[in-house]
Amino acid sequence: MRPVTDNLDFNERTASAIVSGRLRPGNDRLGVAVSGIVSHIHALVSELRPTRKEFREIVAFLTDVGHATEDHRQEWVLLFDVLGVSTLVETMNSARPAGATPNTLRGPFYRADAPTLSLGASISLDARGEPLTVHGRVTDLDGKPVAGAILEVWQPNADGIFENQQPDLQPEFNLRGKFVCDQDGGFIFRTIKPGGYSIPSDGPVGMLLQRLDYPLNRPAHLHFRIGAQGYQTLVTQIFDADDPFLTQDAILGVQRDLVGEFRKSGAGEWELAYSFVMAPARIQEQAS
């Protein structure tokens, strides 16, 4: 049957069929996605029955999100992050076997060009904050060491600010570095205890969240990216178990397996012991 594309009978009941009928048919995922989005929006509009003024406000909000987006600020990504969409898509695309460390979003603060440092070195270039030693092992699912795994780490300072957010105040590459794990998959580096932070609250997304009393905080964490031949690259975050916002992460990134215990050592310094479990590369990754 030919799809209905004729608008003469456009009404609440026929709206979705008419718009979907106008989209290019076939297996094109874009057409399927646009058709799905349209029918969900039509259903929502039918349910909520917005006034003209409310509709203008929605359009104004989306316009503001667009205007707030620039090279160094991605307000659209922030919107998807806080609505849980980014983490949901990441979860679907990074399912790992039981026992493997879960993957999370990489986030906007990663730099691929951080320097390679010797095991035991400090990534804190300004020595501001409470000293922390991080150590552990990288293993496979059977607990065997992944010797030579490349571990990249990046984190915010004690005020919750990453080096690339504050290029004039923090030394370049502060609180980031690359390490090569030893024969036992072991790694150790020195740093400072990261601070938690709030996602940007001065843009349209932050303002909307504040109006709705939605959490804006990200609990304190360190980011890791771990790569090794024959394994799926692991991009993850390890969170401070004692952070008051642990269960209220603005971007819904915390999982139970990613919570680490920051303990005070005998010398009064902080210590975090955490080991990562890598999953074997998928067949197509091994081939490429």
* DSSP secondary structure string for all residues of 167-214: TTTS-TTTTEEEEE--TTSEEEEEEEPPPPEE---SSHHHHHHHHTT-
Amino acid present at 280: P
What is the smallest separation between the CB atom of 174 and ligand BEZ, expressed in angstroms?
16
Which residue number is nearest to ligand BEZ in terms of Cβ?
A: 107
Q: Which is nearer to ligand BEZ, 108 or 215 (CB)?
A: 108
What is the smallest separation between the CB atom of 110 and ligand BEZ, expressed in angstroms?
9
Binds ligand BEZ by CB under 6 A, chosen from 107, 136, 185, 203: 107
Interaction between residue 105 and ligand BEZ (CB under 6 A): yes
Calpha distance 174→165 (Å, rounded): 11
Interaction between residue 251 and ligand BEZ (CB under 6 A): yes
The two tokens of residue 45 are 């509009």
The residue written with tokens 């917005």 in the block is 50
User: What residues from 110 to 169 belong to the interface with ligand BEZ (CB under 6 A)?
Assistant: none
Interaction between residue 81 and ligand BEZ (CB under 6 A): yes
What is the smallest separation between the CB atom of 84 and ligand BEZ, expressed in angstroms?
11
Piece in contact with ligand BEZ (CB under 6 A), picked from 41-49, 52-60, 100-108, 142-150: 100-108
Calpha distance 106→246 (Å, rounded): 18
179 in Cβ contact with 158 (< 8 Å): no
Instruction: For residue 178, list its beta bridge partners.
Output: 116, 152
Q: Which is nearer to ligand BEZ, 42 or 218 (CB)?
A: 218
Phi, psi of 83 (to 5 degrees): -85, 0
Binds ligand BEZ by CB under 6 A, chosen from 218, 219, 235, 270: 218
Q: Catalog residues that contact ligand BEZ under the rule CB under 6 A.
A: 81, 105, 107-109, 218, 251
